[in-house]
Structures are given as structure tokens and as C-alpha cells.
Chain A
Amino acid sequence: MSGKNKKLALVLALIFIIFLTVDSFSAVCVFRFPDRDVYKLFPKATNYKSVIKKIDKVTKQKIEDFLGQPLDADETELTFYEIYKGKELIGMIHPHAERGEYGTIEVVWAFTLEGKIIDFVIQRQREKKGDFLASKEFRKQFFGKDVNSPFVKDKTKDKDKTKEINTDLIKPVKDGEKGSTAIAYGAKKTLAFYKFLFGKE
């Protein structure tokens, strides 16, 4: 094949691959308002890029051991968003959903490359105390915390309560304990995903 023909074949193949993969990308993406939330969480961001990470059996086991809880059946492939300021990678975003008291709470977590929480936004929820869960007063308790922060109860002490909020670290919203717990556990899980999927062990 001549150079010209090779180029043509490459372009055609590329068009074909894009045509086939557009849909599969959108199917795994649960970040609903990236254009709004990326700049809210990272005001200095100029660009972002999605990264899809598959969870293999070994990594799954590591994460489950770390959390003391099994992963959900659909948690096999996760989308992270790398946030850039120019060409510099300045942080990460990961949208994560947990069941609250009244339904799913979808939280978009923003954290540094070292895995320290910067902030979060709630993109979907039905909680009665939803406004309080989204308030800065509640959110700021998470700022600067990392994967080793005791968001939930210690698995060595309370083996069966590793999904329950550790009120010594995070003060739950009054009458919104379940929602607060869901967010706290979501924080732990998100940071654990980052730790094990990006080799930050």
C-alpha cells in the first residue's frame, strides 16, 4: 500500500472507530453538567479530559478489603475527569452515586492529585434535608480530607458498620443522617477508587 493510500485507509478507519465508539462513551458517563460543574469546582480550569478505568478482579478485591464493603454490581468501569489549567493537570473529578434516605444522591467529587478533597456538588438528590447537605457548612467538613480520613466507622472496631458515618469527623445534618452517611461513604469510596485505580497506594 502506498503512503497516500495508507493515509486514506487510516482516516477511514478513524472515522469508523469514532462512529462506533461515540455511544459507548456516553453510556458510561454520569457527569451530567461538566461545563457547569468543572469550573465551579476548579475556577482556574481551562480544560478537562475523561479517563475510563476498568476495575479488574484483583483491584476489586483490594478496594473491597479497604472499604470492608462489597462494590456494587455495576461498578466495573468508572469515569474520572482530569482537570487542566492550560497543559498542567491540576486535579480530578469523579461523579459517584449512593442511596440516601429517599433515593439516589449523585455527588460530583473534586480532589487534588494527592487525593485530598477540594469540594463537591450534588447533581441529583431527593433528600428532605437536601439544601443542608449541599450547604457549605456541611461540605467544608470534607475539605482537605483524604482516603485515610475516618469518614465512616473503623472496620477493625465496627466491622459491620463500615458504611456508617463517623460523627467524630463529619457532623451529620440534623434529621438527615442517612443522606449525610451516604455522602461520607461516597467520599471514602471515591478516594479509594482513585487510590487503587491510579496507583496512589
Chain B
Amino acid sequence: MKFLKFALKNLFRNKVRSALTIFSIAISVTVLFSLLSFTKGYEKGMSGELGKMGYQIMVVPLGCPYEAASLALSGGKIPNYFDYSILDSVQKITEIDVAAPFFMSAIIRPDEERTDIYLGMDEKMLLMKKYWKIKGEYFKDENSLIMGGDAAYIEQTENPGEKFYVKEKDKEFAVTGILERTGTKDDGFFFIPLKTAQKMFGQPNKLTGIAIRVKDPTLIPSVVEKLEKLPDAQVITMSQLMGTMMNLVAQAKTLILSIIIIAIIISTLGALNTVLMSVFERTKEIGVMRAMGAGREHVFQLVWVETLVMALISGVLGIGIALIGMGFVEKIIKKLLPLAPQGSVVSFDLNILLICLGFIIFVGLVAGIYPAYRASKLKPIEAIRTE
């Protein structure tokens, strides 16, 4: 306890120097904690969102399958199509429980800073979206529209029965249903009947994808094998998609982690330098301590505790900043990431907190060894004589 008090007192001797050192280490800890929390949150959010989709396989037109699948999930203008007749071949596969065709497209309005995403679907999609709670009802006719929860909020549409107009296509809809917020990308979509979507975007009898749920998840490989034989189509499973996304995140994580490690090394050298300078400044004082009976181990411990306290304060401060700024970081990440899950992408995890804190304490301990060793090796008489 005495060592701790002494160490704190020493840190307060040069407040600006100590504060700057602590702040630089804290920033590294903030970035480290935020990165780990993001990776964890993203994985959790993504798997939650993919799990909520209700389907395990997606059949998309030829082209980049990941691009098509990710566009179908996040919403966008899918440039490739295949013929509706492909659905018959898909439905012949007996292991398939539900095959829901869809047509997705978007109308981009840069002058109004918005993109409207339309998903053409039929009642089979409802079997996939069991988590939907519709205020109102399903499509009544070809001019019906169901609004996602967020879309309805933006359009100030509170009740079914309101009208909706698509200027670019001169098409009027009647809102038959409004989705309760689902926490998925569906919240921002406009759902319209499949045939209406095909007609509205000038692609009659075309599809941008088929969502598939198999009767038994163990049958996925055999279903995929059969689907791969379809002409003009590609198959992607949700687990593949998840794996690809996580690989992309992992690559970015490795890069950022390397930068953080460099930052931590630099901060650690800064801490080492701060404590070393403090030792030099206190040479005479250490000499007096030794002359009065303090052992080498006492001096060593004293300096070491000082570094440890500095690391601990930095760790707590860094994590505190990260926790306060979590919402801010989340919004930035969501803006930058093309396919971020709708829910939280930054997750608080006690293990991550302990890892970060433990790591910085370890770094502090290592950084403190050399200055502590130097201090403990000082000879009392020579130290007292030092000017």
C-alpha cells in the first residue's frame, strides 16, 4: 500500500508528462478495445441477421455470387437476372421445403439523398419471414405495398390505407401493411407483389434470386450440389456468405491490429522513457533511500509499481473512452461498411475488457523492468553525490 501511495505521488510530480503518457497509452487501448468489440459485435449481429432470414441457400444469377447475395441482403439494384422458369427446376428438388422467388431493384434519387429499395415477392416469402408482424394485411392486389418499419417512419405512414407514389415509374400503390421493426434490413424496404416489381422495372418474368429453405439443414450439401447443375444460376449458402464476410473483417482486423501493436509499442517506449526520466531525476532521492536502509528489491518494486499504476490508469481511461464513444464508433462503422447488420455491431463483452486490461498491465510490467532495474542498481553513495 505504501508503494502504491509513493508511486502515485511520483506520478503527480510531473503532471503534464504523466498525463500525456497516460493519454497516449489510453488511446491505443481505446482503439484496441473498440476493434475487438466491433469484431465480436459484427460476428454476433451478422449471424443473428442471417439466422433471422429463415433460409439457408440463395440461388442468384451468373456473375459474382457474393455481390448478388450481399446486395439481396443489404438491398440494392441487382444488375443480373434469370428467367422465372428456373423456379420450376428448383421446386423439383424434393429436399427443399420452401423456394421463394424475389425481384429486387432500387430507385436512386441523389437530389433527395435517398435510395428506395423495392423487393418484389410472393406469399412464399412470408413462409421465410416468420418473424414479421404486419400491421394491416398482405397484398390485396397488384397495387399493394407493404412498408418496412423504418420506411414507414420516414414516410410518416402510420396506418394501412395510405397512398404511395413512385414518380419515376408513374406507379401508385396502396399501403396494405406496415411491418413492425424487425432489426433487419427489411425495415428499410418497400415490399411489392413479384409481378408488379417485374413489370415496374421492365423485366417481366425475370428474377434476381430465389431464397431456399431445406427440410433438414443436414441436407444442405446435397441440395447445393443439385442446384449447381442449374443453367445461368449460382448457389451460395448463408454460411459461405457469413464466412466470406468474416474473412473480409478478419483481414481488416489483422491490418488494424498491426497498426495498434505499433502504436502500443510506441506508447510503451514513451512510458518507459517517462519512468526512466523520473528515475534519473530522483537519483539523489533513491540514494538517500538506499542509505537509510531500503534494499535493492524495495527500489525495484517502487519503480515497477509506478509503471504498473500508469498502465492501469491508461487501461481504465482507454476502456472508459471506448465505452462512452461506442455509439459514435458504431455509427461510423455502419456508414463505412457496405453490409453491416441492422442491429448493434459493437458489442460489450467482459472478456474483451479483461483481455485489454490484462494486456496493458502486462505491457506496463514489461516496460517497467528496465527503469526499475536501473534504479535498483544505483549505489547509495554515488547516487547521493549526483548533482
How far, in angstroms, from A20 to B36 measured CA to CA in the complex? 21
Does B229 count as interface, using CB distance less than 8 angstroms? no
Does A29 count as interface, using CB distance less than 8 angstroms? no
The interface bits of chain A over 90-104 (1 if a CB of B lies within 8 angstroms of the residue's CB, else 0) are 000000011101111
**In the complex, are the beta carbons of B328 and A19 less than 8 A apart?**
yes
**In the complex, are the beta carbons of B331 and A20 less than 8 A apart?**
no
> What are the residues of chain A within 8 A of B321 when measuring CB–CB?
16
Contact of B328 among A8, A20, A127 (CB under 8 A): A20
**In the complex, are the beta carbons of A103 and B157 less than 8 A apart?**
yes
How far, in angstroms, from A8 to B167 measured CA to CA in the complex? 56
How far, in angstroms, from A108 to B329 measured CA to CA in the complex? 30
The interface bits of chain B over 134-166 (1 if a CB of A lies within 8 angstroms of the residue's CB, else 0) are 000000000000000000001111000001111
Does B248 count as interface, using CB distance less than 8 angstroms? no
Who on chain A is nearest to B164 by CB? A102
Who on chain A is nearest to B20 by CB? A8
How far, in angstroms, from A130 to B113 measured CA to CA in the complex? 17
**In the complex, are the beta carbons of B112 and A124 less than 8 A apart?**
yes
Contact of A126 among B19, B165, B328 (CB under 8 A): B165
Contact of B325 among A8, A20, A102, A130 (CB under 8 A): A20
How far, in angstroms, from A68 to B157 measured CA to CA in the complex? 22
- A-side interface mostly: mixed
Contact of A19 among B114, B325, B331 (CB under 8 A): B325
Does B385 count as interface, using CB distance less than 8 angstroms? no
Does B327 count as interface, using CB distance less than 8 angstroms? yes
**A20 and B16 in contact (CB under 8 A), knowing A104-B155, A123-B112, A124-B114?**
no
The interface bits of chain B over 156-182 (1 if a CB of A lies within 8 angstroms of the residue's CB, else 0) are 110000011111000010000000000
How far, in angstroms, from A20 to B327 measured CA to CA in the complex? 9
**In the complex, are the beta carbons of B167 and A126 less than 8 A apart?**
yes
**In the complex, are the beta carbons of A126 and B114 less than 8 A apart?**
no
Chain A CB count within 10 A is highest, among B163, B166, B327, for B163
How far, in angstroms, from A22 to B164 measured CA to CA in the complex? 35
> What are the residues of chain B within 8 A of A20 when measuring CB–CB?
324-325, 328
Does B23 count as interface, using CB distance less than 8 angstroms? yes
> What are the residues of chain A within 8 A of B23 when measuring CB–CB?
12
**In the complex, are the beta carbons of B156 and A126 less than 8 A apart?**
no
* Shortest Cβ distance from residue A74 to the other chain B in the assembled complex, whole angstroms: 9
How far, in angstroms, from A133 to B207 measured CA to CA in the complex? 37
Contact of A23 among B156, B164, B328 (CB under 8 A): B328
The interface bits of chain A over 47-90 (1 if a CB of B lies within 8 angstroms of the residue's CB, else 0) are 00000000000000000000000000000000000000000000
Does B15 count as interface, using CB distance less than 8 angstroms? yes
Does A32 count as interface, using CB distance less than 8 angstroms? yes
Who on chain B is nearest to A1 by CB? B15
Contact of A8 among B16, B154, B157, B324 (CB under 8 A): B16
Contact of B154 among A12, A23, A104, A123 (CB under 8 A): A104
Who on chain A is nearest to B327 by CB? A23
Contact of A130 among B16, B19, B167 (CB under 8 A): B167
Q: Which residues of chain A from 6 to 22 have any CB-CB distance to chain B below 8 Å in the complex?
A: 8, 12, 16, 19-20, 22
**In the complex, are the beta carbons of B156 and A99 less than 8 A apart?**
yes
**In the complex, are the beta carbons of B324 and A126 less than 8 A apart?**
no
**In the complex, are the beta carbons of A127 and B165 less than 8 A apart?**
yes
> What are the residues of chain A within 8 A of B164 when measuring CB–CB?
102-103, 126
Contact of B113 among A23, A32, A101, A103 (CB under 8 A): A32
Does A33 count as interface, using CB distance less than 8 angstroms? yes
Does A156 count as interface, using CB distance less than 8 angstroms? no
**In the complex, are the beta carbons of A102 and B165 less than 8 A apart?**
yes
Q: Which residues of chain B from 282 to 321 have any CB-CB distance to chain A below 8 Å in the complex?
A: 321
> What are the residues of chain B within 8 A of A1 when measuring CB–CB?
15
**In the complex, are the beta carbons of A101 and B328 less than 8 A apart?**
no
**In the complex, are the beta carbons of B165 and A5 less than 8 A apart?**
no
Does A157 count as interface, using CB distance less than 8 angstroms? no
The interface bits of chain A over 108-140 (1 if a CB of B lies within 8 angstroms of the residue's CB, else 0) are 000000000000000110111010000000000
Does A174 count as interface, using CB distance less than 8 angstroms? no
* Shortest Cβ distance from residue A70 to the other chain B in the assembled complex, whole angstroms: 14
How far, in angstroms, from A103 to B109 measured CA to CA in the complex? 15
Who on chain A is nearest to B156 by CB? A99
**In the complex, are the beta carbons of A4 and B16 less than 8 A apart?**
yes
Who on chain B is nearest to A27 by CB? B331
> What are the residues of chain B within 8 A of A22 when measuring CB–CB?
328
How far, in angstroms, from A102 to B156 measured CA to CA in the complex? 10
> What are the residues of chain B within 8 A of A98 when measuring CB–CB?
156
List residues of chain A with CB under 8 Å of any chain B CB. Answer: 1, 4-5, 8, 12, 16, 19-20, 22-23, 32-33, 97-99, 101-104, 123-124, 126-128, 130
Given contact pairs A5-B15, A103-B164, a sample of 19 additional A-B residue pairs in the complex whose CB atoms are under 8 Å apart: A1-B15, A4-B16, A5-B16, A19-B328, A20-B324, A22-B328, A23-B327, A23-B328, A32-B113, A33-B113, A102-B165, A103-B156, A103-B157, A104-B154, A104-B155, A126-B164, A126-B165, A128-B165, A128-B172
- Chain A to chain B contacts (Cβ below 8 Å), 6 pairs: A8-B16, A12-B23, A16-B321, A124-B113, A126-B155, A128-B172
List residues of chain B with CB under 8 Å of any chain A CB. Answer: 15-16, 19, 23, 112-114, 154-157, 163-167, 172, 321, 324-325, 327-328, 331
